[in-house]
Amino acid sequence: MTSHARLETHETSTLYDAARRLGIDAGLAGVAPLAPGMKVVGPAYTVRFVSKTSGPAGPGSFYDVMAAAPAASVLVVQVGAPRWISGANMSCFAQHSGLAGIVTDGCVRDVAVQRSRSFPIFSKGVSVQGYSELLSLGESNIEIECGGLQVSPNDVVVGDDDGVVVLPRARVAEILYEADEIVQLDHQLAAAIEARMPLRALDALRLQWARRRLR
């Protein structure tokens, strides 16, 4: 099974805990799926919006950026403001362009239409206010900060009902190794709770959760 396929079998909460064992901060703060059941896995294609007073605008439009992004990549967008950057037409264009999904620390609109589709969208919220008064489209395929986390092109993005994690590509195998044990510990802890085991036994499992797995 490929790393991509194995990532799809793990919840983002498990991957986040696994990354923490390795000292990696992987979670995007406050970024959530637009609708229940949305799932995305793929390499990051990054884009940054900048303040109109602090940086030069990039060439082209947001549609140009989506068209340039490699198929099956996840568009990760730094906005940093409660303004929408994706509506129904934009997400439809992204889907037809072959993108795997959109992740942003900004907002979206046209929620009813976007929720009716299967295209995965993860954002910090919903807003009718657009970005054009405050922000301009900046550079693409560069290191950005999204949801309080540094994101580089081709980092691996995983999103589900719990939120979004971004994993350094070079560390994915290590993170999966840790995640496999965390899943086992989760099952053991659930069984111990159902069996009404004493707190001391539960604490032993809980403490093991945070320790790096031995090889």
Residues 151 and 177 in one domain: no
Alpha-carbon dihedral 51, 57, 62, 66, rounded to 10 degrees: -110
Residues 70 and 143 in one domain: yes
Q: State how many domains the chain has.
A: 2
Residues 70 and 156 in one domain: yes
Q: What is the mean pLDDT of residues 204-210?
A: 77
Predicted structure pTM score:
0.92
Q: Is there a domain that residue 65 lies in?
A: yes
Looking at residue 88, what is its pLDDT? 95
List pLDDT tens digits, range 142-182: 999 999 999 999 999 999 999 999 999 999 999 999 999 99
**Greatest extent of the chain over all pairs of C-alpha atoms, in Å:** 62
pLDDT over 90 percentage in the chain: 69
Full residue range of the structural domain in which residue 151 is found: 25-167
Looking at residue 21, what is its pLDDT? 93
Residues 79 and 129 in one domain: yes
Looking at residue 100, what is its pLDDT? 97
Residues 79 and 184 in one domain: no
Distance CA 129, CA 131 (A): 7
Q: Is there a domain that residue 20 lies in?
A: no
List pLDDT tens digits, range 46-91: 999 998 876 566 667 899 999 999 999 999 999 989 999 999 999 9
Q: Is there a domain that residue 4 lies in?
A: no
Residues 142 and 38 in one domain: yes
Residues 148 and 60 in one domain: yes
Residues 156 and 133 in one domain: yes
Q: Is there a domain that residue 5 lies in?
A: no
Residues 107 and 84 in one domain: yes
